[in-house]
Structure 1
Amino acid sequence: MDGDNHTTVTEFLLLGLSEDSVQEELVFGMFLGMYMVTISGNLLIILAISCDPHLHTPMYFFLANLSSVDICFSSVTVPKALVNHMVGSKSISYMECMIQMYFLFTFGTLDNFLLSVMAYDRYVAICHPLHYTLMMRPRFCILLVAISWVIAYLRALLHTLLMVRLTFCSHNAVPHFFCDPYLVMKLSCSDTFINNVTIFTEGGMLFMAAFLCIVVSYFCICSKVLKMPSAQGIKKAMSTCGSHLTVVCLFYGAILGVYMHPSSSYSLQDAVASVIFTVVIPMANPFIYSLRNRDIKGALRKIILRS
């Protein structure tokens, strides 16, 4: 191979999750339905929080941001897969693939940081209720979200630039419905050592830092809750954390299932985990938060009655 860094591959082929035409139709219908539910569910959460002054608090501010990110995260991968199926094509241009990977890194990182920020918010609300309004000032909440966006954009830029430097010679078939960075790297005919090391060191450090923030926050919350004298107080404290804990378990479970291993060992189970990560979790979040939250249900009821 010569020393050139030019890219001879101008497009990639997204093979999808199945080669069987009947199964492809089922996957198309499932993805279409889930995407519609994701968009409508998250938009309803954002609308409810925006329209109800009682929900203009840090907790719901972070939830509205999470819903916005979930809409964007799902929109990075699913629409392209749906369009390709409708037009009978499997291709995605090289530039579209790089853009798709950039936003996958961006919104995946944002989800991670927002979940840790929400855990910290619950920690302050339960462990320091008298100082909550002082500690979680609007300006500070905006700063936390802004820092999350900046880190996410810089991380995505780093990994996209590392991906662009790779050479793709002839193989261009990606056995997935989107440009998964690990699968695209496997197609490269140049050395991917730096890419792999960067992903597993920098990515691991960032995700572990956010995960440790969540663990420490809930350890402090549990210590506080166990000292509460009344069962009612314990029930109220846990009800505010139950939804968030469910989302955290789904999110980190999917990450561990697909991304915390060498890219060479990708399997069907990894494909399922990545579908959960990119499609199922963004769809499930509105249900998890709304069904267990009386304030959200009340705000949605008002909107429906007003309509």
Structure 2
Amino acid sequence: MYPLMLVNPGLTTNLDDIYAWRNYQSEMENQTIVYVLVLAGLSDLPSLQLPLFLVFLLIYLITLTGNLLILLLIFTDSHLHTPMYFFLGTLACMDLCSSSVTVPRMLFDLLRDTRFISVPACITQVYFFFFFALSEISVLAVMSYDRYIAICRPLHYMQIMNWKVCVHLVLIVFVFSAAYSSVHTLFLAKLTFCRSEALQNFFCDLPQLLQISCSDIFINVLLIFLLGIMFGLAILTVTFFPYIVILRTVLKISSKTTRSKAFSTCSSHLTVVFIFYTTIFFNYFRSSANDQFTEDKVSSVFYTILTPFLNPLIYSLRNQELKISLRKTLQRLQIKNYSD
């Protein structure tokens, strides 16, 4: 397809340019704008549809249960009413919402042969996907800053990370994520789609949408790289730079118990960050050759389904305070059942 910005045939005597312009106009006139898109889904094999549905339904239910359990423990246990667990609860909310943006639709599509979605619904899904994904990345960055203050400046922790500051940080994250998502979706809404190929994914993702657009996508691609590099580097710096200072401080701690507790908290956080960032960068900052559709789907499954599933497991299994709180809650429930 010829680029949109062709030379005006009225201002040139070059026959090749005139023929190119006429061919381009002919192609555009023959193309039909589509308002309903087709999702390729996870697999085209009918024999795999039901097993995949059952597996991902189980994963989704465990994701909902694990994150809701973390929220319940943080809400009911007064010992967990600290900034660290406030941010962990916010992360659990983001995991609940982000998985609910893509998984229910994917499960519904696994039970039918045709997977149609309207263009407005597709763009709406892109908006909420970006919003919750960026919110989660930003909350992980805020959690790094929180760990830095707690470990490196423990005497001033409650003064710096008071509740007002915590709420303001989360509000800033939400406003920033909403603005970032709005920019992408506004430019995406200006595109037209006139190709019959299916989106090579199980949800509406920006790279696949750009591939089937018949409009000029230069601005959209530019926004992905410019905003991604600009804000991505800022968030990466806030996320990882504090750990340089944290590592130096922890190595100077003489108490093995305190040191292991600090390492346990930091390692859980870093594990979640590593899983999320590697799959995001793999999907958005590499070439998009046609033979890589399977890799796209695998990476998409990781950061849309498995990351929200793994986060509560990572934090609950490596966090002693959460395990103690869970044990106390189960004991209270047992005592209540016996008394009844």
Q: Would the TM-score normalized by the shorter structure come out above 0.5?
A: yes
Output the CA distance in 1 between the equivalents of 2:112 and 2:261: 51
1:193 equivalent to 2:209? Answer: no
Q: How many residues align?
A: 306
- What is residue 265 of structure 2 aligned with on the other side? 240
Output the CA distance in 2 between the equivalents of 1:267 and 1:90: 17
**Among residues 277, 291, 310, which one is paired with 1:284 in the alignment?**
310
Question: Quick check: 190-199 or 297-306, which moved more?
Answer: 297-306
Output the CA distance in 1 between the equivalents of 2:252 and 2:111: 58
Change (3 A) 1:196 1:277: same
1:56 equivalent to 2:101? Answer: no
The amino acid of 1:16's aligned partner reads G
1:274: Cα distance to partner? 1.3
1:225: Cα distance to partner? 1.3
Question: Quick check: 291-300 or 44-53, which moved more?
Answer: 291-300
Question: Quick check: 267-276 or 121-130, which moved more?
Answer: 267-276
Output the CA distance in 1 between the equivalents of 2:139 and 2:263: 20
Question: Quick check: 42-51 or 92-101, which moved more?
Answer: 92-101
- What is residue 328 of structure 2 aligned with on the other side? 302
Secondary structure at the residue paired with 2:117? strand
**CA RMSD between the two structures:** 1.8
The amino acid of 1:109's aligned partner reads L
Within 5 Å, give how 1:67-146 maps onto structure 2.
67-146=92-171
Output the CA distance in 2 between the equivalents of 1:289 and 1:256: 23
Output the CA distance in 2 between the equivalents of 1:306 and 1:70: 28
Query: How many percent of aligned residue pairs carry the same amino acid?
Result: 43
Output the CA distance in 1 between the equivalents of 2:56 and 2:262: 36
- What is residue 229 of structure 2 aligned with on the other side? 204
Paired residues of 2:41 and 2:109 also in contact (CA < 8 A): no
The amino acid of 2:321's aligned partner reads D
Question: Quick check: 119-128 or 238-247, which moved more?
Answer: 238-247
**Residue-by-residue CA offset, 1:243-286 (whole Å, 9 max, x unaligned):** 10110111111112211124456432222111100000000000
1:224 equivalent to 2:234? Answer: no
Secondary structure at the residue paired with 1:177? coil
> TM-score, normalising length from structure 2?
0.86
Question: Quick check: 228-237 or 171-180, which moved more?
Answer: 228-237
**Among residues 193, 202, 223, which one is paired with 1:177 in the alignment?**
202
**Among residues 281, 288, 302, which one is paired with 1:256 in the alignment?**
281
Question: Quick check: 224-233 or 194-203, which moved more?
Answer: 224-233
1:46 equivalent to 2:71? Answer: yes
> TM-score, normalising length from structure 1?
0.95
Output the CA distance in 1 between the equivalents of 2:89 and 2:118: 33
Secondary structure at the residue paired with 2:37? strand
* Greater relative contact order, per chain length (Cα 8 Å cut-off, separation 6+): 1
The amino acid of 2:107's aligned partner reads L
Output the CA distance in 1 between the equivalents of 2:296 and 2:110: 22
Secondary structure at the residue paired with 2:44? coil
The amino acid of 1:196's aligned partner reads V
Paired residues of 1:13 and 1:174 also in contact (CA < 8 A): yes
The amino acid of 1:284's aligned partner reads L
Secondary structure at the residue paired with 1:173? coil
Output the CA distance in 2 between the equivalents of 1:287 and 1:106: 23
Secondary structure at the residue paired with 1:12? strand
Output the CA distance in 2 between the equivalents of 1:300 and 1:233: 22
Secondary structure at the residue paired with 2:111? helix
Question: Quick check: 50-59 or 83-92, which moved more?
Answer: 83-92
1:304: Cα distance to partner? 2.8
The amino acid of 1:271's aligned partner reads K
The amino acid of 1:230's aligned partner reads S
1:22: Cα distance to partner? 1.7
Question: Quick check: 249-258 or 280-289, which moved more?
Answer: 249-258
The amino acid of 2:254's aligned partner reads P
Paired residues of 2:94 and 2:136 also in contact (CA < 8 A): yes
1:85: Cα distance to partner? 2.4
Question: Quick check: 136-145 or 166-175, which moved more?
Answer: 166-175
Output the CA distance in 2 between the equivalents of 1:193 and 1:117: 33
Output the CA distance in 1 between the equivalents of 2:58 and 2:254: 46
**Among residues 152, 157, 173, which one is paired with 2:177 in the alignment?**
152
Output the CA distance in 1 between the equivalents of 2:264 and 2:198: 46
Paired residues of 1:110 and 1:148 also in contact (CA < 8 A): yes
